[in-house]
Amino acid sequence: MKILKRVLFIIAFVFLCVHSVRLTYQKWFEPRSSALDTYDEVVEIDIRKATSLEELLERYDAAHTKVEEYEVDDANPELDWGERRETEPYKSEQKLRAAIEDWETQSNQISKTRFYWLFGLAFLLVGLALHKWASPWVGIAALIVGFSEMIYWSSPSYFAAYSPEFERLLNNKLFLAWTSLVLLFVVSLVTGALEGAKHRKP
């Protein structure tokens, strides 16, 4: 049991440390600008400056109105899907739509991260209770499930465009990774104390 616990502790410790370092880099050290930013179009600059989903929706509504005005004018040529990607007003509308979808995806990711991390925390508490009052092996199994959830959902997010919502997701994951690391040490000490108390019983 002791050897298994040490191996599991080391594995969880390694993953949480790697996640914490990567998230710390993303939060404070990763470059968020490019020399090419000066060549961005107005809509791309507006998307980058948006501080809320409502602001993006307002801009999308204006762009969508321009698309509708374009389409009702018979003098304007009808464009296929490929041409629309490079032609205004369709171009701006599509970029704003993509930005809104990214924002909503990140917002959903925040909710999922919190839910599943709390699910893992619940399994930790159940595991500790089982370890103390039932079977240590069943308790360890529950602890493994709990920490697996917490490690997975505090892992860094890759290939995401920076936005205030992505920043919020990053803050959540960084906090949860650090909290998981602290809980790992607490659980290790508690389970060790429980096993020591059992061995001392006459």
- Bigger pLDDT: 54 or 201? 54
pLDDT tens across 106-132, in order? 999 999 999 999 999 999 999 999 988
Q: Count of CB atoms within 10 A of residue 102's CB?
A: 17
Distance CA 101, CA 146 (A): 31
Question: Per-residue pLDDT tens for 33-71?
Answer: 777 677 778 898 889 889 999 999 999 999 999 999 999
Rg of the chain over all Cα atoms, to the nearest angstrom? 25
Do residues 62 and 93 make contact, with C-beta atoms less than 8 angstroms apart? no
Confidence of residue 194 (pLDDT cuts 50, 70, 90): low
- Cα atoms found within 13 Å of the Cα of residue 114, Cβ hemisphere only: 10
Q: Is the peptide bond before 89 cis (omega within 30 degrees of 0)?
A: yes
Q: What is the pLDDT of residue 173?
A: 96
Helices 42-49 & 90-133 angle (0-180, nearest 10): 30
